[in-house]
Amino acid sequence: MDSPLGGLILGIESSCDETAAAVVRHGTEILSNTVASQIAVHSPYGGVVPELASREHLRNILPVVRATLREAGVAYQDIDAIAVTEGPGLAGALLVGISFAKSLALALGKPLVAVNHLEGHIHAVLLEEVRRAASEDEPHNVEKGQTLALVVSGGHTHLYLADFGETAGRARWTYRNVGRTVDDAAGEAFDKVAKLLGLGYPGGPWIDALAPHGNPDAVPFTFSQIKAKAHRRGEPGALDPTENIYFSFSGIKTAMLRYTKVYEMGASIETRHTALSKLENPKPADALPLCDQRTLDLIASFQRSVVDDLRRKTFRAAERFHAQRVIVSGGVAANRELRVRFTAEAIEQHLPIAFPSMALATDNAAMIAAAAWPKFVSGSFAEEGLTAEPSLALGR
Ligand code: KG4
Ligand code: ZN
């Protein structure tokens, strides 16, 4: 039953290193979107430390939920359902959000909806598309035809075909996985390369900020090497190797390491790392004077290579699977060069393209509440035995 406000879902997300809660109305209207980032906790380690993440989630979850309800101006009883990320992600981190959501649903007597984190990333874009159309007084068409979604984050590089329609008597979104990485995720490559160059964590925003200062054509990383490797290692699994698209980002990471060795960049990397670690809250602007032109060129070339590989394969998939539109989501969708180059290609191919706003690109709970809405409407609630699913896949 709707509350007097109507259709309010409290979303909870704790799959990695952000503790997040949000209140979203009817799956599209964000009343609040609160994120407690753990960047400062994991920064000294250059990556997420799972045990520390679980502990931080436990510390933050109640304050974050309280803050988001306060900001939305609603009380616990106004909420119609609670939505929580069930996976994929870090087991201990997911368990904090799930245990909290289950207890809250039980205490309030409200339904619980389980959401796949990757579906959440896709809905971050869809919810904004629906809002944009409404604000321009146009009918939205996100539920018509096939959408090709590139989900590109620290843990994932996947291509999905998303479809909305009636399945087994229920109107729902269905997904077909048509592409994936065979090794590292693109965001992971950004993070590892930033670490290799003595920059901050997470690496994506650092590389994004420094790349415009370098020449992207300076270091020609050959993508045939990545393509060949992907084909060699592409175990078919659930995917059809003749049709599906494979990414591989471990090759470029190794090529970067080799480059720093060949050009003896070790000492300058160490100096940069030490200088930045002395700052309380280092920012990419602090790194710029610590980077020589060779380093900036390397950063720019790395970013251009990764973005172009993502772009080429995404549009190849759009053509192969006759997609009506392309969306890009996940943390790496915040990348400015990616947005520019994907948009240019979409114009050339006459395909509509959409990205999430910056606040919805990286992990958040508004996307979880939005993805939960159609499930709530069709009565698809979580089982009592809901638990963390660290390797949960999306679609078939
Ligand atoms: O979606 P997200 O917050 O968490 C996961 O589900 O993984 O994505 C985080 C990832 C990190 O690897 C981070 O370096 C990357 O997204 N990222 C970026 C940018 N902002 C975040 N990568 C490239 N450019 C950016 N501006
Ligand atoms: Zn994510």
Tens of pLDDT, residue by residue over 345-379, are 999 999 999 999 999 999 999 999 999 999 999 99
Q: What pLDDT sits at residue 232?
A: 53
Binned at pLDDT 50, 70 and 90, residue 239 comes out as very low
**Counting ligands in written order, which one lies closest to the CA of residue 206?**
1
Specify the length of the chain in residues. 396
Binned at pLDDT 50, 70 and 90, residue 79 comes out as very high
pTM, whole model, 2 decimals? 0.92
Q: Take atom 7 of ligand 1 and give the residue whose Cα is closest.
A: 154
Q: Take atom 22 of ligand 1 and give the residue whose Cα is closest.
A: 204
* Tens-place pLDDT, residues 89-113: 999 999 999 999 999 999 999 999 9
Domains of the chain, earliest start first:
8-143+360-377 (3.30.420.40), 179-357 (3.30.420.40)
**Looking at per-residue confidence, does 225 or 13 come out higher?**
13
Q: What pLDDT sits at residue 223?
A: 58
Q: Take atom 16 of ligand 1 and give the residue whose Cα is closest.
A: 331
170-181 vs 157-167, strand pairing mode: antiparallel
Ligand 1 atom index nearest CA of 203: 14
Ligand 1 atom index nearest CA of 17: 4
**Counting ligands in written order, which one lies closest to the CA of residue 47?**
1
Judged against a pLDDT cut of 90, whether residue 234 lies above it is answered with no
* Tens-place pLDDT, residues 168-220: 788 889 999 999 999 999 999 999 999 999 999 999 999 999 999 999 999 99
Q: What pLDDT sits at residue 169?
A: 82
- Compute CA distances 133 → 7, 157, 308, 384, whole Å: 20, 28, 29, 37
Judged against a pLDDT cut of 80, whether residue 1 lies above it is answered with no
Find the 183 Cα to ligand 1 centroid distance in Å. Answer: 17
What is the rounded radius of gyration, in angstroms, for the C-alpha atoms of the chain? 21
- Structural tokens at position 228: 């060949």
Q: What pLDDT sits at residue 228?
A: 42
331, 352, 269, 335: which is closest to 35 by C-alpha? 331
Mutate which of 118, 151, 190 for ligand 1 pocket (most atoms within 8 A of beta carbon): 190
Mean pLDDT of 249-259: 94
Distance CA 151, CA 157 (A): 6
Please state, rounded to an integer, the average pLDDT across all residues of the chain.
Answer: 92
Mean pLDDT of 20-37: 97
Judged against a pLDDT cut of 90, whether residue 47 lies above it is answered with no
Distance CA 212, CA 205 (A): 12
Mean pLDDT of 65-82: 98
* Tens-place pLDDT, residues 110-167: 999 999 999 999 999 999 988 888 888 888 888 888 999 999 999 999 999 999 988 8
Edge-to-edge, what's the strand order for the sheet holding 147-152?
Answer: 245-247, 170-181, 157-167, 147-152, 325-329, 353-354
Judged against a pLDDT cut of 60, whether residue 238 lies above it is answered with no
Measure the CA angle with vertex 222, ends 315 and 303; round to 5°: 65
Q: What pLDDT sits at residue 221?
A: 87
Find the 355 Cα to ligand 2 centroid distance in Å. Answer: 14
CB neighbours of 296 closer than 8 A, spacing ≥ 6?
210, 211, 213, 214, 215
**Counting ligands in written order, which one lies closest to the CA of residue 333?**
1
Judged against a pLDDT cut of 50, whether residue 388 lies above it is answered with yes
* Tens-place pLDDT, residues 322-347: 999 999 999 999 999 999 999 999 99
3-state SS, residue 11? strand
Ligand 1 shell residues, CB under 6 Å: 16, 153-155, 187, 190-191, 202-205, 208, 330-332, 334-335, 362-363
26, 10, 3: which is closest to 62 by C-alpha? 10
